[in-house]
Amino acid sequence: MVRQAITTSIFAVDLANKIYAHERDKPQFNDHGEIKLSKKLSIVRFKPKPEYFDEFVQKLKLRHQSDLAMTDTKIMITDNEVVGIVVRDTEIFSKNVQSGVEYLDTVRHMLQEYDPVNRHTIPLTGDLLE
């Protein structure tokens, strides 16, 4: 009898978890019937000066680790560029933009300009579809 109750309890918890996961992964809709997008993906290209390349990569890693608003981060490097890839909650994104500018001000001296329009970064941000 006890074994059956434990088995039933485990089954109920497993079923509840599956239902929760299914509901959680369903798209959410706003008042206009449009899908609410809960995350933003940002890809930012940097072109460090050769003498600062390794130091810049380390500073970017620290930035990613220390900013709790970033839910997922990756860094990609090429021969002459560093690309930061970051996922943030949409609600936090607008509040977090200013801290990104403040960070850039601390490392700007390490970066080459791409051109007069983009200056030190080439950013791309959009809604993340999951």
Using the structure block, give the residue that is written with the tokens 């003498």. Answer: 51
The count of structural domains within the chain is: 2
Range of the domain at 45: 37-127
Cα 74 from Cα 84, distance rounded (Å): 6
pLDDT tens digits, residue range 5-28?
Answer: 444 445 545 554 544 444 445 556
Residues 44 and 102 in one domain: yes
**What CATH code is carried by the domain that includes residue 71?**
3.30.70.100
C-alpha torsion angle, residues 36, 90, 70, 110 (rounded to 10) = 130
Question: Is residue 3 domain-shared with residue 48, that is, in the same domain?
Answer: no
Of residues 35 and 104, which shows the higher confidence score? 104
Euclidean distance between the first and the last CA atom of the chain, given in angstroms as a whole number: 43
Asked if residue 98 belongs to a domain, the reply is: yes
Tokens encoding 85 = 């890839």
Contact 96, 90 (CB under 8 A): no
Please compute the mean of the pLDDT values over residues 63-89 and round it to a whole number: 93
